[in-house]
């Protein structure tokens, strides 16, 4: 029975003495002798406010992505790029060393021979089929180290999310770098009087007028045949 003769039994001196020590300390801090709140708890509250106010003046680390994109490191391992020579011919020679070096079996390459009237690279062969499966790729960069012509490099692009698994298998046309000023789209002949070694040593700076005329005539013939 309670002290007033009814209800639940109230605390007894024995029960109060049996309360845990930390509970007794808490009760002494919160309640004074009259049973009201104690001012001893104020420093604790101020300490909590101090933590809040201190964070208000710290630098904001949240990035407003995707509206604001944080620049990546210079050597970031992003999406692959198949590079071109300055005249537009492809650097890839279809050697398949990148596919052999890939530990995740994410690269598939089929090489083919260049024809006299249909040349895609300065060497004897070029990559006719080139695929990278980004469902498997671990972005380790071993394929870049294995490439003998610097045909394959990694860009800073990291947004590769798609709504279909099939879209994450990139084909050659998805990986080829853009045609920059001075480049002519392959296939076309090499710069007259040069060898593949001249290309790899950087002696070719841009497409020649003869190469540009060849490409223009090729495209005109293709348009005529399509009519």
- How confident is the model at residue 56, as a pLDDT? 83
Share of the chain above pLDDT 90, in %: 63
Which residues fall within 8 angstroms of residue 222, CB to CB, at 6 or more apart? none
Does the structure show a pLDDT above 80 at 23?
Answer: no
- pTM exceeds 0.95 for this model: no
Q: How many CA atoms lie within 13 A of 19 on its CB side?
A: 13
β partners of residue 126: 112
For residues 112 and 182, the answer to whether their CB atoms sit within 8 Å is no
For residues 160 and 174, the answer to whether their CB atoms sit within 8 Å is no
Task: Work out the average pLDDT over 70-98.
Answer: 96
For residues 101 and 170, the answer to whether their CB atoms sit within 8 Å is no
- How confident is the model at residue 57, as a pLDDT? 83
Q: Work out the pLDDT band at 137, boundaries 50, 70, 90.
A: very high
For residues 171 and 125, the answer to whether their CB atoms sit within 8 Å is no
- How confident is the model at residue 182, as a pLDDT? 95
CA 85/CA 200 separation, integer angstroms: 9
Share of the chain above pLDDT 70, in %: 82
User: What's the CA angle centered on 52, arms 46 and 57, to 5 degrees?
Assistant: 125
Does the structure show a pLDDT above 60 at 64?
Answer: yes
- How confident is the model at residue 75, as a pLDDT? 92
Report residue 127: phi and psi, to 5°: -85, 100
- How confident is the model at residue 13, as a pLDDT? 54
Q: Which domains does the chain have, with CATH numbers?
A: 80-222 (3.30.70.3270)
When the pLDDT of each residue in the chain is averaged and rounded to a whole number, the result is: 86
Does the structure show a pLDDT above 80 at 26?
Answer: no
């Amino acid at each position: 029975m309670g002290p007033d003769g009814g209800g639940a039994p109230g605390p007894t001196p024995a029960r109060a003495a049996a309360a845990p020590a930390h509970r007794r300390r808490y009760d002494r801090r919160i309640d004074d002798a009259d049973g009201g709140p104690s001012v001893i708890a104020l420093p604790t509250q101020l300490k909590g406010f101090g933590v809040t106010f201190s964070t208000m003046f710290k630098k904001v680390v949240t990035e407003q992505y995707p509206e604001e994109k944080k620049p990546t490191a210079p050597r970031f391992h992003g999406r692959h790029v198949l590079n071109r020579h300055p005249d537009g011919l492809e650097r890839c020679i279809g050697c398949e060393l990148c596919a052999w070096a890939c530990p995740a079996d994410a690269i598939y390459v089929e090489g083919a021979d260049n024809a006299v009237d249909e040349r895609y690279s300065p060497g004897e062969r070029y990559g006719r089929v080139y695929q990278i499966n980004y469902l498997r790729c671990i972005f380790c960069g071993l394929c870049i180290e294995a490439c003998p012509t610097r045909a394959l490099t990694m860009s800073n692009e990291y947004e590769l999310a798609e709504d279909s698994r099939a879209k994450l298998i990139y084909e050659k046309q998805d990986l080829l770098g853009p045609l920059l000023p001075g480049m002519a789209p392959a296939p076309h002949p090499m710069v007259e009087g040069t060898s593949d070694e001249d290309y790899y040593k950087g002696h070719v700076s841009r497409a020649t007028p003869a190469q540009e005329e060849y490409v223009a005539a090729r495209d005109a013939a293709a348009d005529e045949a399509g009519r």
